[in-house]
Amino acid sequence: MLIGRRARGRFFLNAGRILQSRVLAGGECMKTTNRTVYNSRMINIAVEGNIGSGKTTFLDHFKKFPEVEVCEEPVEKWRNINGYNLLGLMYQDPHRWSLTFQTYVQLTMVKMRTAKQQRPIRLTERSIYSAKYCFVQNLYNCGYMPHSEYTVLTEWFQWLIENLELNLDLIVYLRTSPENCLKRIKERNRSEEAGITAEFLDVLHRLHEDWLIHKQFEVPAKVLVLDGDLSLHDMCKMFDEKKDEILLKNNSHSNCSLQVDTIS
Ligand code: TTP
Ligand code: MG
């Protein structure tokens, strides 16, 4: 049941195998002689940040933990839906394809978030919120998306967040300079992104800041800010050092407060 319900569960972790048991509230993790028991509701954490900020690196790092499941962004679906590359079309002709593309992004984000959770902690790449507050907003501000289309997408967005269970417990914001994002985008060389400019990344960076730091749009969870400008090695070291904070291990897990914790 997706609507109006919060999933709660109890998990037994034993050598990486997870069995879901009966419904319980709470938030502690306790060790017994031969197993770790998670007495917890499902935890949902989204990693946000500019294009190329390091979100996939973050997710890859946390795949090793048995209590964590990772949902990577469905970019491959955006590149191939029945043979259509909507991501590529959107970059080639944003006037024509922005609404189609962002509608599909919104759908795939909601499908990803509402898919049955198998492990106590789910980490997702982005959320419906950044798609709307950063990308749709930018397309509208630039004049690529007319007000009529923006209004339709906004109404869809409002309906989805009000009627589905899309809540987040934490947003991890990888705050990365647009210069470093551009360097990484060039290194990974996704063909559709060949035309991405420094100016485009500056604008997207400001929109992430407006949303997650300056709170100009609704922030649906507590925000943990991490330094995304570190080298790969140092970034992974920081993820390990901050693991308990990132995975809400010392927390009641029921945080929908709007405070920002800056960690660097
Ligand atoms: P990102 O969602 O930023 O993912 P990424 O894999 O590039 O990030 P990272 O390197 O940090 O892992 O962007 C994926 C592509 O999709 C990028 O070209 C931007 C585009 N995009 C939109 O155009 N609109 C959207 O709403 C979203 C979410 C992405
Ligand atoms: Mg990625």
What are the boundaries of each domain within the chain? 42-262
Average pLDDT over residues 234-262: 72
Residue 69 among the catalytic residues:
no
Q: Which ligand does the CA of 108 lie closest to? A: 1
According to the model, what pLDDT value does residue 250 have?
A: 76
What CATH number was assigned to the domain covering residues 42-262? 3.40.50.300
Per-residue pLDDT for 163 more than 70? yes
**Greater model confidence, 22 or 204:** 204
**Greater model confidence, 166 or 41:** 166
**Greater model confidence, 173 or 40:** 173
Q: How far is the CA of 84 from the centre of ligand 1 (A)?
A: 18
- Assess whether the C-beta atom of 73 lies below 6 angstroms from ligand 1: yes
Side-chain half-sphere exposure of 114, counting CA atoms within 13 A: 18
What's the one-letter identity of residue 136? V
Segment 5-49, tens digit of pLDDT: 333 333 333 333 333 332 233 333 444 333 334 445 799 999 999
Average pLDDT over residues 126-147: 98
Dist CA 24 CA 242 (whole Å): 27
Q: How far is the CA of 90 from the centre of ligand 2 (A)?
A: 18
Dist CA 111 CA 14 (whole Å): 29
Q: Which ligand does the CA of 72 lie closest to? A: 2
Segment 39-96, tens digit of pLDDT: 457 999 999 999 999 999 999 999 999 999 999 999 999 999 999 999 999 999 999 9
Q: Which ligand does the CA of 188 lie closest to? A: 1
Q: Give me the percent of the chain exceeding a pLDDT of 70.
A: 80
According to the model, what pLDDT value does residue 17 have?
A: 34
37: phi then psi, degrees, rounded to nearest 5? -110, 120
112: phi then psi, degrees, rounded to nearest 5? -65, -45
Determine which of 111-125, 170-184, 213-227, 241-255 has the lowest per-residue pLDDT on average: 241-255
Per-residue pLDDT for 231 more than 80? yes
Per-residue pLDDT for 4 more than 90? no
Ion ligand 2, residue ranges at CB < 5 A? 55-56
- Assess whether the C-beta atom of 51 lies below 6 angstroms from ligand 1: yes
14: phi then psi, degrees, rounded to nearest 5? -140, 110
Q: How far is the CA of 26 from the centre of ligand 1 (A)?
A: 35
According to the model, what pLDDT value does residue 256 have?
A: 32
- Assess whether the C-beta atom of 54 lies below 6 angstroms from ligand 1: yes
Alpha-helical runs (H) found in the chain: 55-62, 75-79, 86-92, 94-114, 128-130, 137-141, 147-163, 178-188, 198-212, 232-241, 243-246
Residue with CA closest to ligand 1 atom 28: 131
> Which of 76, 125, 165, 245 is the catalytic position?
125
According to the model, what pLDDT value does residue 181 have?
A: 98
Residue with CA closest to ligand 1 atom 17: 51
